[in-house]
Structure 1
Amino acid sequence: MDDATLAFYQQLYAGTPLYVVPEPGAAPLTAPVAPVAPVAAASQPAAATPPAAVSPPVAPPTPPAPVPQLGAVAVPPAPAPEPAPAAPVRLPSLADLRAARTAAASPQPEPAAAPPTPPPAPASVPPAAAAPAPAAPPARQPVPFDTLGSNANGLVLLVRLDDPERLPRIQRNVFLNNMLKAIQRVMEECVVVNVRSPYPVSLEDLRARGLAVREVIGFGKNLLDVATKRTEPYEPVRIGDVAYLPAAEVEIIEYDNGRKKQLWQALQRMFLG
């Protein structure tokens, strides 16, 4: 405020007491404000009139809201700053909605397919070791057997005796000698072979012993290896160049008339047919 304005207000409020409006809840100020000294005429130059001494006003703790009183000048409070108006929100227009719908309906371009990854090169496999040659089957062990008699006509009688001492008695058996006479043979013209093993003897083993094998009569089971699975009792068969007739044990046949009859019929088909 310049000196001319200050002098104007001092002259305007000369002789008028000024009051300070107390704050709500604060102690009232009873001491009036000192009157403003009269101001010199405005026509005099401001530089020639010395300024009147003005007592310093009492500063309240907190400026209260002004209350209008009679005979006092109310000072309007400073207006509170208004909040800045919020930025207006723009509503979507029909054009925006139509553009968004068109963008959603339009097909999206598919991403370019990545080039196929080449398969990894097969790892080098070391050459497999040569498979070992199958082991040769063990050589067949010859079946032990005993012989008794000559073999002029190539007739072989196979038996299996638990006691080798019985072999000479088989050669003198009445039943066997009568059987050989019925087919026009004699015991001295044939050989009796006792197989001393639960396994069958082979034709090769018999011939390796120097026997001429043309007809074979087996008195028992599992006596000749080439005839163990394809023969039936009292049914003569031909195996290569050998005729073979399986029958029961000698001790069983000589006391069984039914088996004697079966044996005689088989001998007729094999030797007299």
Structure 2
Amino acid sequence: MNPAADLAFFQNLYNGVSLYVVPEHTTAAASVEVPPPTEAAASALPVAQVLSEALPTPAAPEQPTPVAAAPVPAAVPQPAIAPSVASAPAAPPTPVAAKLPSLANLKAQSPPPAPPVASPAPVREPVVPTLAQLPAAAAAPAGRVQPTPTQSPVAHIPFSTLGSNPNGLIILVRLPETEFRKLPRNVFLNNILKAIRLIVEDVVLVNVEHPSYPVALCTLRQALGARQFIAFGKNLLDVAVYTTQPYEPVLLFGDTAFLGASEISMLEYDAGRKKQLWQAMQRMFL
């Protein structure tokens, strides 16, 4: 089929025929002022006429006689029927998502801190002060019985101790029981030990309980096993009674260092004796 010929045929067939008649039911509808045709509608007729003149008119096929529409009165111009534009269907409402709580104000929850593990307290090793080169003790006077490290006539003399470092320094004193118990807190004694880099825990305090006789070295060796002594008082160690002098450190029997001094109660208030004690301790340990 020829599309151009078909177009011309239908244009000639329906030329001058109104396909739509405006009903005149009411007076209000007839009195409606019809707007003049637009330029686009006016220009459509010449274009159709030009096409009909340029194209040959095909033979009209036998068609059923069309029903003529009622003529339109000449007084009423033909209105331009604008195609009705169907309104676009309204878009379905967008479902509103449930509003989530804002996380901006929430703080990051860190895991609870682990409980601190208590580290074990460091174990302090007992300190044994280093001895210097000491002179040997003098021999006992003639007619005096000198006890030995293994035998002594005063081996039965009792004594009490404070401390738990048997291989450390032995501090010999003769005090009443109540004063002896307070001795570890004595300021002067602690200062003396600090001067040779020791503390009370590094020494053993020995209290001779007999008012006149000394304690035996053999008994102390058997109970404590120590070899270094500082005696604050007179007649405190049997082997040092006749062979030592105050503030003169000596070496007894080749392996036992001994230093004699005055009582602690006298040294606390005597600057001259304090100086003598410090010089003797320097010769013994430093």
TM bucket (normalised to shorter chain) is 0.3 to 0.5
TM-score using structure 2 length: 0.45
* Larger RCO of the pair (alpha carbons < 8 Å, separation 6+): 2
